[in-house]
Amino acid sequence: MAGTVRTGRSGHFPRVNLNSDGRSHPLINLASVFTLIAGLVAFVFGMLLRYANAGHGIAIAAAAIGLASLLVGLYTQMVSATREERVLIVTGMVFGFVGLALGLAHGGFS
């Protein structure tokens, strides 16, 4: 079949595009990236609590950032338009949940 083998551009990284449907979604893209980054930060803080016995401030930060990641992620998941956005959102929500759970287990919000 014609067009099944990609020629040229060998050795280049594929371009990351969250707007695979051809329309621009700047606010949804921003919320998706926020969910991923906040979830990663909450996860790192949670791992610090788990393995380094960090202070109570880190527990509060992990819980608060994890909760923000979950809430923004849940809303963004409802209004998301493309698969690529949903992959970032769900990944950020999972990381945020783990950070929230570890933050709560070590005394966050108490």
Task: State yes or no: pLDDT of 38 exceeds 70.
Answer: yes
More confident residue, 64 or 21: 64
Which pLDDT score, from 0 to 100, does residue 53 have?
79
- For residue 26, is pLDDT > 70? yes
Judge whether 104 and 63 are in contact, CB under 8 Å.
yes
Q: CA 28, CA 25: separation in Å to the nearest integer?
A: 5
Domain ranges of the chain: 42-105
Q: Tell me the H-state helices in the chain.
A: 26-52, 56-79, 83-105
Predicted confidence (pLDDT) per residue in 81-110, tens digit: 899 999 999 999 999 999 999 999 998 887
Q: Please tell me the distance from the alpha carbon of residue 32 to that of residue 26, in angstroms, as a whole number.
A: 10
pTM of the model: 0.83
